[in-house]
Structure 1
Amino acid sequence: MSTPPEAYYSEERWQNWIDRLRDEEIDPEDEDSARLLLNLQDDAAIAVAKIVNAAEDGHLEQEEALEELVDVRDIVLADVEVEDEETAFLIDGVQTSLVCVFAAAEEYLVRGVPEEAALPEYVRAAADAEAEEDFDAALSYCAQAGARIIDGDDLDVSVAEDIEYGLVAEWINGLDSLQSAVRDPEVIEEEEEG
């Protein structure tokens, strides 16, 4: 039994979220706006979790799962044309957070679960690497933390409190969405109104 194309995520689904964001006055201080942005992020993270689950359950070969991840990543990380600068900035933040979600899933599928350290140590190593401006290493450490989350470790987001705002903080935000998606991969309805 093969999975139909676009079963995990579609261009149309992403575009529907973007259209909603375009149509609303987005204010990150507003609870409904914040929820809409989080739903956009969580929805993509759920797609990633479903691909990983399908690979674990034997419904997808590793190579197929990696291809599905690339397909979803290409949709979600493509440039978004939004005239409102604030909205464009916020969508970019969501995309930045999701970079780590894809990296974590790939890490898990290709290299498995890293055993060298506890999850918070990967986060600290990522922050240290970012401070040294070694962004590739920082992403790699965050991806390893994400692989541990997929395997069942819990991320306490309070570890991010000491981290300066930057890429690692954004990636941890993505890992929080991944953790929610792995624990409860329920699809968020696009039409859902707050």
Structure 2
Amino acid sequence: MSESEETFYTADRWQNWLDRVGEEDLDPENEDSARLLLNLQDDTAIAVAKIVSAYDDDRLSEEEAIDEIADVREIVLAEVEMDSEEKVMLIDGVQTSLVCVFYSAEEYMLSGAVEEGSVAEFVDAAAAAEADDDVDAALGYLVQAGTKIIDGEELPMDAVEDLEYGLVSEWVNGLDSLQSAMADPEVVEEDE
């Protein structure tokens, strides 16, 4: 198996973000704090977008691309240890948002973008599934939406605005980061 020349994401990169979160006096209501968490999430979504692009450009085989996604997921979803329970919860929110991003990228590479339905329809179906306590179905619908976002369909903001806070809204938040990353896969500078 050929070793990819590109490095898409590293444990050090994630740790640098965690260190910044650890050093900051975070207040989720504060714009700078919210931006730091969003940058952390966007940075990971950008890594995923770059892997998908490398796959689409035939620079990575399906197997290599899936392995790269698995590597990033393993780094980002690992349990976080910090002194502050509140910060652990905030990071957990970012991790939760990214779950759908990883699954969407894998599904896209394995099966392509789903042909039926729109992003808005999948978001609505996910919200309905969550209301029925069917979390697995909700995630499945959003993964389908994610494949369409990777393929270029927009996440309609009006479909997002009415979502109740919960797993679906967290996952859709991740898809929003994925959409931005697919449109502009530039690295978020850690010192911004």
TM-score for both structures, normalised by structure 2: 0.96
Between the two proteins, the alignment pairs up a number of residues equal to 191
2:128 is aligned with 1:119:
no
**C-alpha distance in 2, partners of 1:133/1:49?**
30
Deviation sequence 1:78-101 (CA, Å, 0-9, x none): 000012122111110000000010
* Letter in structure 1 aligned against 2:158: S
Report what 2:185 is aligned to. Answer: 185
SS at match of 1:9: coil
Deviation sequence 1:78-132 (CA, Å, 0-9, x none): 0000121221111100000000100110111111111111110000111111111
Report what 2:4 is aligned to. Answer: 3
Equivalent residues in 2 for 1:137-156, closer than 5 Å: 137-156=137-156
Deviation sequence 1:16-43 (CA, Å, 0-9, x none): 0000000010001111111100000000
Between 141-150 and 151-160, report the one with greater CA deviation: 151-160
Deviation sequence 1:56-79 (CA, Å, 0-9, x none): 000000011000000000000000
* Letter in structure 2 aligned against 1:41: Q
Report what 1:55 is aligned to. Answer: 55
1:52·1:65 contact (CA, 8 Å) conserved in 2?
yes
Report what 2:79 is aligned to. Answer: 79
1:82·1:88 contact (CA, 8 Å) conserved in 2?
yes
**C-alpha distance in 2, partners of 1:127/1:190?**
34
Report what 2:41 is aligned to. Answer: 41
1:127·1:168 contact (CA, 8 Å) conserved in 2?
yes
Report what 1:158 is aligned to. Answer: 158
What do you get for the CA RMSD once the two structures are aligned? Answer: 1.2
* Letter in structure 2 aligned against 1:163: L
1:37·1:91 contact (CA, 8 Å) conserved in 2?
yes
The answer for unaligned runs of 5 or more in structure 1 is none
Superposition deviation, residue 2 in structure 1 = 4.6
Report what 2:12 is aligned to. Answer: 12
The answer for unaligned runs of 5 or more in structure 2 is none
SS at match of 2:47: helix
* Letter in structure 1 aligned against 2:69: L
Q: Percent identity?
A: 62
TM-score for both structures, normalised by structure 1: 0.95
